[in-house]
Amino acid sequence: MPKFVFDPTQLPVAGLAGEAPIAPERLLPDALRARFAQTRPWDAETSQEAVGLTQPFRRASVLVPLVERPDGVTVLLTRRTDHLSSHAGQISFPGGRAEEFDSSPIETALRETEEEIGLHRRHIEIIGVLPEHSTISAYRVTPVVALVKPPFKLVPDPGEVAEAFEVPLGFLMDGLNHQRREIELPQNAGTRAFYSMPYEHYFIWGATAAMLRNLFHFLRA
């Protein structure tokens, strides 16, 4: 697919996913653990992001950190620094490329999370993984879902992370907050559709929103 630059925040909303929110009791830590311990049929949502790519894909992992707060579980996200060569300024999960010495996708997610934001694995309880997500930058990303127990101190790497912040899981697990947007690709390459989940002044979209959509489908199955 041709490379091009666009501002996703300026694209009109084509529609809302619109599914009902997941019940609050299903978003409690024990309920999340129980859901990942179960085997139920569910349909993952396929992203259009990597359609047309022909180069080999590289392996990567991200951590989907679900923080156990007294007022409800939140999702810990990062905003990438503006000077990065790819995905600058975007909202993402902590994570990155797999290295040869990583024993598993889970190890990649744990290592990269500690390197990026200083979150030590002693605070992290892995509860499951979601289907791989293929990105426009030719990565196959494994989302590793974990519960995170406070208190913890974050030390973001200033070379990669501008800030770390939290969004209520209940907000992200509501289909009325999932906006569908479309863009016309250059050179008559068709249209590309993607989801966005704006929260306060943060614009969550692309791969991060797509992985959150699959967490949503998984939890509501």
Average pLDDT on 30-35 reads 98
Cβ proximity of 114 and 120 under 8 Å: yes
pLDDT in tens, 65-99: 999 999 999 999 999 987 654 555 799 999 999 99
- Read off the amino acid at residue 110: L
- 184: confidence class by pLDDT, cuts 50, 70, 90: confident
Q: Which domains does the chain have, with CATH numbers?
A: 16-39+54-220 (3.90.79.10)
CA-wise closest residue to 201 among 68, 62, 95, 79: 79
Radius of gyration in angstroms for the set of CA atoms belonging to the chain, rounded to a whole number:
17
Query: Residue 195 corresponds to which tokens in the numbers above?
Result: 């989801």
pLDDT at 12 exceeding the cut of 80: yes
Residue 106 sits at φ, ψ, to 5 deg, of -65, -45
pLDDT in tens, 100-109: 999 999 999 9
- 56: confidence class by pLDDT, cuts 50, 70, 90: confident
pLDDT at 145 exceeding the cut of 70: yes
Query: Residue 43 corresponds to which tokens in the numbers above?
Result: 């349909």
DSSP letter for each residue of 162-176:
EEEEEEEHHHHT-GG
How confident is the model at residue 2, as a pLDDT? 45
Q: In what order do the strands lie in the sheet with 13-16?
A: 13-16, 179-184, 191-196
Q: How many residues does the chain have?
A: 221
